[in-house]
A = this chain, B = another copy of it.
Amino acid sequence: MDIDWDGVTHVTKVDPVKALPSGLSMLEATDLVVVGGSDGVTESNTLETIRSLEDACPATPILQEPYSSAHVSKTTIERVDGVAVPAVYNGDRTHFVGKQVDLFAEIGRQPDALLGSSLPVVGDYLASKGEEVVTQLTSKLVGEGYVVQHVDATAASVAGVETAYSPKQVAGAALATETFYGFPIFYIEYSGTYGGPDDVEAAARYLEETTLFYGGGIDSQAKATEILAAGADAIVVGDCFHDDPDRFRETIPR
């Protein structure tokens, strides 16, 4: 299914390495599930998680957010509704443009291997078929312009983030996303800690077409409400989904 970004208010982030809680049908109330993590994630545990989610809540769209292209395969691509490609504004060069160009160079070079086409054709027809396959694949990719604001988090060290942005820099990155880089999602990530509404307010002022995600430390209705009131289009809830389903349910807007 195509993801209707305008209808996404509550996002659940599921780490394939962590155990899924019982009562997965609670995910029918979330608007999008993002599957991804860093340490210990593999294609295999990603697929296992995707299958469990499909069984429990078949109507909820799934976005895979791979850390490495090794977690992406023909099978994951076919099973999910989108594959997120993050670009970290306040990270190092590798995590804003380096890995991304490598990924697209790889896609351009190996459309058959990536999507499993093995047509016995050569020359121009293969070239043209290759481009169709590339188009199918890239149409599933979802660019996310990230600002990682909790510099002690794993996400920060992985992406080469040494300094958090000021709210004015967050606003600049938001305006750049909306008018220059054109990612459909601008993502303010506090990863495990609650960052409050300031960055969200700064960014929301300049975002119209772009969907604004906030993630980090949301474990109550009050925090969920505060971030949405500050202008976020959607809140992303991760830790308490795995750790405390009762608190998780509280974060879902009614």
Contacts and interface: CB of A to CB of B under 8 A. Distances in A.
Interface of A: 85, 87, 89, 92-93, 96-97, 100-109, 127, 131, 134, 138-139, 141, 143, 168-169, 171-173, 175-176, 178-183, 205-206
Contacts of A179: 104, 138-139, 141
A101 B131 contact: no
A90 to B, nearest CB: 8
A101 to B, nearest CB: 5
Nearest to A97: B96
Contacts of A175: 104-105, 107-108, 134, 138
A95 B167 CA distance: 22
How many copies of the polypeptide does the oligomer hold?
2
Given A131-B206, A180-B85, A181-B181, A171 B108 contact: yes
Given A89-B101, A92-B93, A182-B182, 7 more contacts: A85-B180, A89-B97, A104-B175, A108-B172, A108-B175, A143-B181, A182-B183
A138 B93 CA distance: 24
A144 B146 CA distance: 21
A175 B172 CA distance: 25
A25 to B, nearest CB: 35
A168 B108 CA distance: 8
A131 B100 contact: no
A200 B180 CA distance: 23
18 contacts: A85-B180, A87-B180, A89-B101, A93-B97, A96-B97, A101-B169, A101-B173, A102-B172, A104-B172, A104-B180, A105-B172, A105-B173, A108-B175, A109-B168, A138-B180, A139-B179, A141-B180, A181-B181
Contacts of A182: 181-183
A35 B68 CA distance: 41
A20 to B, nearest CB: 31
B141 A105 contact: no
A205 B131 contact: yes
B172 A101 contact: yes
Contacts of A205: 108, 127, 131
A97 to B, nearest CB: 5
A138 B107 CA distance: 32
B169 A105 contact: yes
A179 B137 CA distance: 10
Contacts of A176: 100-101, 103-104
